[in-house]
Structure 1
Amino acid sequence: MKDLEIEKIIIKYIQQEANYSELKKLDLWLKDKTNNELFNHFVKTEYLIAINLGNYNLQKGKKAIRKKLDLQRRKRKVAIIKKMSLAASIVIVLSCSISLLIGDNSSLKNSLIETPIEIKVNKAILTLNNGEKINLDSNKKYSANNAAGNDKELLYLPKNETEKTVEKLAYNYLTIPRGSDFFVQLSDGTKIFLNSDSKIKYPVTFNEGKTRKVELLYGEAYFEVSPSSKHNGDSFTVLTKNQEVLVLGTHFNVKAYKEDRLVYTTLIEGTVKVNSGLNAILLAPNQQSRVSNDTKFIEVLNVDVSHEVAWVKGLFSFNNAPLKEIMKTLSRHYNVEVIFESEKIKKYKFTGILESKTALKEILKFFESISDENIKYSLNDNKIRIK
C-alpha cells in the first residue's frame, strides 16, 4: 500500500470516519510489525495527534481497530460513532482519557497512566437586589426570590402572565470565583454558562416591550439567547465595559477578563451587532470581533468557533498558544498564581485539547516532560513557579 493511501486511512480512523474496507486495510497493514513504528510516528508527529500523559499502547490501538471491524461485520455497515462537536479539533482516540496536541517545542514521549482528577469546588455567590449575599454551595439547595439552585446551577422561573410591568427592575449578581464555573437560566429562558473568574448582572424578570439587558461585568460567558420571537420581538443586549452586543436570538461567546487588553465576541449561530461606541459591526457565524479597551476599535476575524467555546464542554482548546496564555487560562481554572522565571519560556507555543478535569500536577509534569528546553516547575501554596 502506498504511504499516502495509508496516511489518509489513519487520519480517517483517528477522526472515526474510516469505513469497513479502510479499517480492514489498516488492520492488515499493522500486522506487519515493521509498520508499527511508522504508525506511531505518523500519529504523533506528522498529524500532531493527542500525546497522552502516559505510555501510548499500540496494542490497545490495534484492538480498537479490530473491535470496530467486528462491529461493522455484524452490522454490515459503517459504525456511526458520535463525534465531539469540536469540528476542527482532533478527537480523543485509542482509549485516551486525556489528549494534548504538541506544538513546535516538543520532544515526544510515550506514556499512558491513570490520571487523577482534581475536583473543582463551585462556590458561586448570588447577590440579591437588597445586597444580601448567598453562597451557592453543595451544603444546601437554594430556593427563594423566583429562583432555585445549587452549587452548579441557578434556574429562574418564567414571569407569570398575570405579573405587572414594574417601573424599576430588581437585579441580581452572580460572581463565579477562580476555580469554579456555573450555569444560570434567566426568567426568559436564556441560558448562560459562566467561566471561572466571572461576574454577571441581570434582572430577576424582564419587562415586556423592553430590551432584555444583562451585563457581563468581567470574565467569560457563553449565551444561548431565547429568541425575540418568543418575547413579542423584544431584543436582547449584553453589555461589557467597552461594548454592547445586540441580539435577536442566537448562540455566542463573550470574553472580557479584567486583565485582557481586548474584549472578544464570538458568534456561533444567528446574528449579533457589536457596538463599541466608536463604530458598530454585524457578526456572521464563525466570526469574532475584538474590541480594544484603549481605542474602542473593532477588528473582525474568521475563527474556529469550536476552539473558542470548548470550555463550555469541559475542554481547554489551545491553537498555537504561547505557554503564558495557556497558564493564564489554567490559573483561573485551578485558582493558582503562575510565576515565570524566564521570559523565553512564556513564548513556547502549543496546540492541543485538554480535559478540564485533568489534575493540575499531571499537566505540569507533562509540559515538563515534553520540552526541549527542559522546563521545570514547582507548586507550593497555590503558586506555580516555571523556569
Structure 2
Amino acid sequence: MAEIEKIIVKFLNQESNYSELEKLETFIKNEQRIQVFNNFVKTQYLSTLSMTEYDVNKAKETIKTRLKKGEQTRRVYLSKKIAVAASIMLLLGMAFYLLYDNRPVKVSEPEKQSNLIVAGTDKAILTLENGNEVALEKGKKIQTAKASSNGEELIYVDKEQNETDVKEQMYNYLTIPRGGQFFVKLSDGTEVWLNSESKLKYPVAFKDGLTRNVELIYGEAYFKVSPSEEHKGAAFHVLTKSQEINVLGTEFNVRAYNNEELISTTLVEGKINIKKGEQSKTLRPNQQARISRGSDNMDIQEIDVSQEIAWVNGLFSFNEKPLGEIMTDLSRWYDTEVVYENAKHKSFVFTGILERTETVEDILKLIEATSEGQIKFEINNKTISIK
C-alpha cells in the first residue's frame, strides 16, 4: 500500500510517470480501493474544499484515454514530463468539474448547438507563385513541381532534389483560417507549425548561401529551424511587422496576431537574436521577448515555455489566464464569436490543461463549474454569450 500511496501523492503533485499512471489505473479498477484514492485527493489536493466522493468511473476513463494517447508518436519536440503533466492536469481538471457538478450549480445546456461548433482541423490555403490558390484539407492530396500535400502537411522539395539553380526568388503563402492549423516543411528542411488565423510568406526554394528569409505576416507559428551549417552558413531570419528574428538553428514560438497588442517570441532551444528599432537582444532558452505594438521597448522575461507551445502538441494550457484571453484562443480554434454581457467577466482567471480535440461545450462547462456561479455561458448558433 505504501507504494500506491506514493504514486497517488506523485499524481496529485504532477510528478507521476507513464508506468506509475498504469499502476494507478490498475489500482482504481478495484472498487474497494476507490475510497483510498478519494481520501488522497481530498487530503492532498482539495483539502480546502467541501468535497464529496466524485465519480471515479469517469476518472478511470480519462486515465485510460490518456494512456492510449500517450502511446502515439508526437511529431514535435516536447519533453515527456510536459506530456505527462498535461495528462495529469486534464484528469485533475475533470476532478474539479465532477466536484462542482455535484453541487447545486445550474449549468447551461449548449449541447443543443453542438453540431454548429466543432474543433479545428488541419486546413489551409496555399497561394502559389503564380497567384493561384489551392485548398489544403484532410483527405485531399496535392502535388506541384515543388511541393506535395496529403491534406495534413505540406512538404517542399529539398535542395538536393532541386536540380535547377534558384535564379529568381519565388514566394508562396500559407494562410490558416479560423478553426484551422497546418504543418509545413520548407525546402531547407525547416519545420513550421501554424496556428489558427495565421499567414506565412516563404520562398519556394532558398538561394544557396544567402540569408533565408521568411515572414510571419500575422498569427502564431512554431519554428524548428534547419541549422545554418547545413546551408553554407546561411542565416535564417523571421520577419514580423514589428521585429526581425535572427535564428541560429533553434526552436522557438512567435505570436503576432493583428488584433493583439503584444507580440511575444519564446525560445525553447538554441539561440535567437531579436531586433526592434535600435534595440538588439539575444534570448536564452526559457526566455520570452515581449514587444507592445507602437513601442520600441523590448521586455525579456523568464517563463515556463510549456505554457506557450502547448498548442503545438494539441493542448490548451491556461495558467491563471484571464477569461478574455482564453476566449480569444477558443474563438479562433472553434471559429466562434464571443459576446460579454459584463466586461468584468474578462478578468476571471482559470487554470487547466485541456486537449484541443475536446468539444467547446465541455471546455465551457468546466470553466463554468469552477467559477462558483460567477460565469454562465450560452451558445446561440456560433456565438458564445458570457453572462
Q: Same fold (TM over 0.5)?
A: yes
Whether contact under 8 Å (1:318, 1:350) holds in the other structure is yes
Query: Hey, what's the Cα distance between the residues in 1 that align with 2:18 and 2:183?
Result: 37
Question: CA 1:57–1:161 in structure 2 vs 1: closer, same or farther (change >3 Å)?
Answer: closer
- SS of the aligned residue for 1:209 comes to coil
Percent same amino acid at aligned positions? 43
Query: Hey, what's the Cα distance between the residues in 2 that align with 1:7 and 1:108?
Result: 25
Aligned counterpart, 2:282: 282
Aligned counterpart, 1:90: 85
Query: Hey, what's the Cα distance between the residues in 2 that align with 1:175 and 1:214?
Result: 14
Aligned counterpart, 1:379: 379
Aligned counterpart, 1:100: 93
Pairwise mapping of residues 222-261 of structure 1 onto structure 2 (< 5 A)? Answer: 222-261=222-261
What is the deviation of 1:89? 7.5
Per-residue deviation, residues 19-67 of structure 1 (Å, max 9, x unmatched): 99xx89xx79x9688755432324653699xxxxx93449949x99xxx
Residue 39 (structure 2) pairs with residue 38 (structure 1) = yes
Query: Hey, what's the Cα distance between the residues in 1 that align with 2:215 and 2:330?
Result: 25
Query: Hey, what's the Cα distance between the residues in 1 that align with 2:187 and 2:128?
Result: 15
Query: Hey, what's the Cα distance between the residues in 2 that align with 1:133 and 1:59?
Result: 46
Q: What's the Cα RMSD here?
A: 3.8
- SS of the aligned residue for 1:234 comes to coil
Query: Hey, what's the Cα distance between the residues in 1 that align with 2:189 and 2:304?
Result: 27
Tell me the TM-score normalized by structure 2.
Answer: 0.79
What is the deviation of 1:97? 7.1
Question: CA 1:362–1:32 in structure 2 vs 1: closer, same or farther (change >3 Å)?
Answer: closer
Whether contact under 8 Å (1:267, 1:283) holds in the other structure is yes
Question: CA 1:231–1:376 in structure 2 vs 1: closer, same or farther (change >3 Å)?
Answer: same
Query: Hey, what's the Cα distance between the residues in 2 that align with 1:57 and 1:147?
Result: 48
- SS of the aligned residue for 2:306 comes to helix
Query: Hey, what's the Cα distance between the residues in 1 that align with 2:19 and 2:300?
Result: 39
Matched AA of 2:149: G
- SS of the aligned residue for 1:100 comes to helix
- Structure with a larger share of its residues in helix: 2
Query: Hey, what's the Cα distance between the residues in 1 that align with 2:34 and 2:183?
Result: 50
Aligned counterpart, 2:9: 11
Matched AA of 2:320: N
Aligned counterpart, 1:164: 165
Aligned counterpart, 1:354: 354
Aligned counterpart, 2:132: 132
Query: Hey, what's the Cα distance between the residues in 1 that align with 2:18 and 2:224?
Result: 34
Matched AA of 1:38: N
Structure 1 alignment gaps of length 5 or more: 49-53, 69-81
- SS of the aligned residue for 2:345 comes to helix
Query: Hey, what's the Cα distance between the residues in 2 that align with 1:300 and 1:102?
Result: 36
Pairwise mapping of residues 41-80 of structure 1 onto structure 2 (< 5 A)? Answer: 41-42=42-43, 44-45=45-46, 55-57=55-57, 60=60
Aligned counterpart, 2:332: 332
Matched AA of 1:92: S
Tell me how many residue pairs correspond in the alignment: 354
Aligned counterpart, 2:321: 321
Aligned counterpart, 2:299: 299
Question: CA 1:247–1:195 in structure 2 vs 1: closer, same or farther (change >3 Å)?
Answer: same
